[in-house]
Amino acid sequence: MNLSRVWAILRKDLLDAIRDGRVLAIIIVPLALGIVYSMIYPDQEPRPKADVVVVGSASNTDAKRLSVALPRDVGRALDLTVRVEPDEATARDAVAEDDADVAVVVPEGLIADAEAGRAPPLQVLVGPDASPTARAVVDLLPTSVGKLADRAPAAQVAVRDVAPTSPSAIDELGLSNYFVLAAVVMTVGFIGLLATPIVLAEEIEKRTIEALLLAARGPEVLAAKSLVGVIYSVAATAILLAVTGVPIERPLLFVVGTLGMVVSIVGFGLCLAYLFRAADKLNTWGWVIVMPAIAPAFIVGVDPPGWLDAIVQAVPTGQGMRLMVDGALPTDVFGGLGLALVVFAVWGLGGLLVLSRLLQRRGS
């Protein structure tokens, strides 16, 4: 392989992509979306909030009274969302699944016992990593019960930790950071499935690809075309991370996930150029392929059902997002590096091998 010929083709394609308004827009739009995501999904709330479940049967008037009194008593310091559930198991599941910060199990006759000065036990369920806001709610419970009973001490709070279910990627990474990584996948998808193939499709349409194949071998042309997508994708990813400040705890894993996804998408995307053979046709119909291709990046964070998760794990954007999330965190949420590498190889190398064969036939 002659590197000087590869560099000459690569430099031409990089400049052609910048000059083409369609390609430039395809690159800039998802970049802008990623920056917007980082601003409209703040990870820190301006005012502390908590979701509270009060457990009590339909006949338990004390549970209803406490559900009304609690948000009123802490209203100056906290914003509480309180709901009443009839059984403890439902409340425990809500805390375990992070659908509630605190669950308060209200026994029958709580207020009457408090009024009699017996300070009845009040069981409270929280997660082991409960936020300071949740702990503040626990600390304020005796005060609320005391106001209802008109005396103190009104209750003995017994805190019980609830083991969490498997955390979601959004819970671990934060909504803002998660959507920035999804924007990285979107940007790579746009570049690999639209921008890069459009350059090749235009050469096929204008028959200038034959001139390239006379001046260089098929693998050299393929390497140059692939590097265009890789360079633009890596540059766009670096810009997004630098501007938004998303922390990357394990850079090596993050790079493996990003590069594997980039190579897979670029390899598959270049085959689309031969499928459509015209830039305008690819620009029109390529979106039908791009949207389902980038959807897995948004699906992996919401714990999809088994059949949908299987589909997500079978495509490079799903595996790329999973590895990028794991790379951004100190410990794995997803795991499965081996499977990801297999998926990358099947999509990326498979597409490049098919395209290499096509170029060899065209140049022969």
Least confident of 39-43, 140-144, 337-341, 352-356: 39-43
Say how far residue 159 (Cα) sits from the centre of its chain: 33
**pLDDT tens figures, 311-321:** 989 999 999 99
Domains plus CATH for the chain?
A: 3-41+174-363 (no CATH), 49-166 (3.40.1710.10)
pTM for the structure as a whole: 0.64
Strands 121-126 and 156-161: parallel
Model confidence at 42, pLDDT cuts 50, 70, 90, reads low
Give pLDDT, residue 320.
92
Model confidence at 129, pLDDT cuts 50, 70, 90, reads low
Give the separation between CA 2 and CA 219, rounded to whole angstroms: 10
Model confidence at 61, pLDDT cuts 50, 70, 90, reads confident
Give pLDDT, residue 262.
92
Give pLDDT, residue 259.
93
Is the pLDDT reported for residue 364 higher than 50?
no
Kindly list the strands in the beta sheet with 79-85, ordered across the sheet, starting from the edge strand earlier in the chain.
Answer: 79-85, 49-55, 102-105, 121-126, 156-161
80, 132 Cβ separation under 8 angstroms: no
Which residue in 290, 281, 343 sits closest to 312, CA to CA? 343
Is the pLDDT reported for residue 164 higher than 60?
no
340, 277 Cβ separation under 8 angstroms: no
**pLDDT tens figures, 225-278:** 788 888 888 888 898 888 888 889 999 999 999 999 998 898 888 888 777 877
Of 120-134, 136-150, 233-247, 269-283, the range with the highest mean pLDDT is 233-247
Residues 6+ positions from 301 with CB-CB distance below 8 Å: 168, 169, 170, 173, 178, 182, 325
**pLDDT tens figures, 85-108:** 888 888 888 888 778 888 888 888
